[in-house]
Chain A
């Protein structure tokens, strides 16, 4: 306690409270350490150290013979294709549900509070979207692999369902946050819902909708790598088998490609959003 013993000018008025908070946090953390079998000594164990060292030492240089690079390129494209196809299907799922669930396009709500049946339908669709996105895509993929077998189909479906739920919710939110006046004016004057959407809400929201979709595409690429670990193909599956065979040079090559791919999709998405804005 060097600070309290010193001269009054250096005394910290909050010292005792901070120490008490830290102590309380340490006491709370103890059971966590037990539950998670937290034991850094396993890292320093001689046998695991030797295995780790052999694995890591093999990282340099990354494997770069032509057949391997060709396979890497093929799997990279598969990763991108799974993400893109999944997101395209997710969009098909999201658009109708978003239009069904947004109260902006309600005819009965134009004059009075929304009638009970439309309100019930909208709430039901919202719950369905919550259900779709509350199960992680990896779990969907695990389940689909049991149905359609190993391969990209399970990955595409998993992304389509989870991202369909996310996009549907966010699309509906974006539509609802738009200025109500144009759609209301159109609906009151007897235009149909489609016209109210196209000429009332979309002009204001289009940029936001596009940029969120592009951002989700970037996320889908990261997801699609992870889905490979349960057998959906792509870079993840390659990485999984390389790590299981302790092939350090392959692992480092795949990781480099993966980091490059994430960086590239990040740049592409930033560029697209700037062009669209």
Chain B
């Protein structure tokens, strides 16, 4: 045990983190005066009060419900497309063997990393040019980012699957597709489903805000009404968002418990 050097290193790290924090606060032109002055606090309180009561007009509630359905559909379809896309890419990404397989493996991994490292919202902004405003580009954006995430997770589960059953079939001369369908897939399917459910939970949150850049759903409504300072309407949309997320969390929690038991 070398106590002193590790203490020095720890001190160095703490100092570096402190320096980063101080530099961050110092270089950003933060406007605390907008918060800390007494008159401003009253302004903020009245701003928050202006959200209530939420707009409860039946026609508006119906529109909010339709947007909620749209958000739900976007997240669900985006996740399904991503599960299919991730499956297709995870097969080459989990390939092993000769140089051709290694090249395939590397290319698929690179593609998955690129898809994954760009957030849904950035994909949506880029896709608006090709797919236009609306839920279609939002769905594609969710699908692209999630394909990267799920593809990597799927590839890892396929690589970690026990090789015995696949070997048994291959020895008897079954083709690659059959080996995968009847030996590897049944082993990893529960894990793939549980990953997909988990991502769906994430995607419902993402789908709710994607609309801010014009990609449909509740986010688009929120952006529109906040822009017009229609606070009561914005409040209803916010409540719908929170309710939707809570509902999906509960559903996914229940589904995963059912899967695991």
User: Hey, which bits of chain A sit against chain B, CB under 8 A?
Assistant: 12, 29, 31-33, 35-39, 42-43, 48-49, 51-52, 55, 77-78, 80-82, 84-85, 88, 134-136, 138-139, 142-143, 146-149, 151-153, 156, 222, 225-226, 229-230, 236, 239-240, 243, 246, 251, 255, 258-259, 262-263, 272, 275-276
Contact = CB atoms under 8 A, between A and B. Distances in A.
B69 to A, nearest CB: 6
Contacts of A29: 77, 80
Interface string B24-44: 110111111011000000011
Interface string B184-196: 0000000000000
A247 to B, nearest CB: 12
Contacts of A84: 20-21, 24
Contact of A225 (B122, B131, B134, B223): B122
Contacts of B9: 275
B131 A42 contact: yes
Contacts of A48: 129-132
Contacts of A275: 9, 13
B37 to A, nearest CB: 12
Contacts of A55: 129
A138 B216 CA distance: 15
Interface of A is mostly: helix
A81 B76 CA distance: 35
Contacts of A272: 13
A143 B245 CA distance: 19
Interface string B65-82: 000011001101100100
20 contacts: A32-B77, A42-B136, A48-B130, A48-B132, A81-B27, A84-B21, A85-B21, A135-B241, A136-B209, A138-B219, A147-B43, A152-B30, A225-B119, A239-B122, A239-B125, A243-B128, A243-B129, A251-B126, A259-B114, A259-B118
Considering the complex of A and B, which 7 residue pairs feature the smallest CB-CB distances, nearest first?
A81-B24, A35-B73, A84-B24, A52-B130, A85-B24, A138-B209, A36-B135
A146 B241 contact: no
A80 B24 contact: yes
Given A36-B70, A85-B21, A147-B44, 10 more contacts: A29-B77, A51-B130, A85-B24, A148-B31, A151-B31, A153-B30, A156-B28, A246-B129, A255-B122, A276-B13
Q: Identify the interface centre among A37, A38, A135, A236: most chain B CB within 10 Å of its CB.
A: A37
B119 A153 contact: no
Nearest to B44: A147
Contacts of B129: 48, 51-52, 55, 243, 246
A89 B213 CA distance: 27
A274 to B, nearest CB: 12
A234 to B, nearest CB: 10
Nearest to B16: A272
A56 B134 CA distance: 21
Given A135-B238, A136-B209, A239-B122, A152 B135 contact: no
Contacts of A49: 130
A237 to B, nearest CB: 12
A110 to B, nearest CB: 32
B198 to A, nearest CB: 16
Interface of B: 9, 13, 20-21, 23-25, 27-32, 34-35, 43-44, 47, 69-70, 73-74, 76-77, 80, 114, 117-119, 121-122, 125-126, 128-132, 134-136, 138-139, 182, 205, 208-209, 212-213, 216, 219, 222-223, 226, 229, 238, 241-242, 245-246
B77 A142 contact: no
A6 to B, nearest CB: 12
A50 to B, nearest CB: 11
Contacts of B229: 146
Contact of A243 (B80, B125, B135, B182): B125
Contacts of B114: 259
A238 to B, nearest CB: 12
A59 B70 CA distance: 33
A137 B243 CA distance: 16
A237 B106 CA distance: 33
B222 A226 contact: no
Given A42-B136, A48-B130, A226 B31 contact: no
Contacts of A229: 121, 125, 212-213
Contacts of A146: 47, 226, 229
A103 B192 CA distance: 36
Contacts of B241: 135-136, 139
Contacts of A152: 28-30
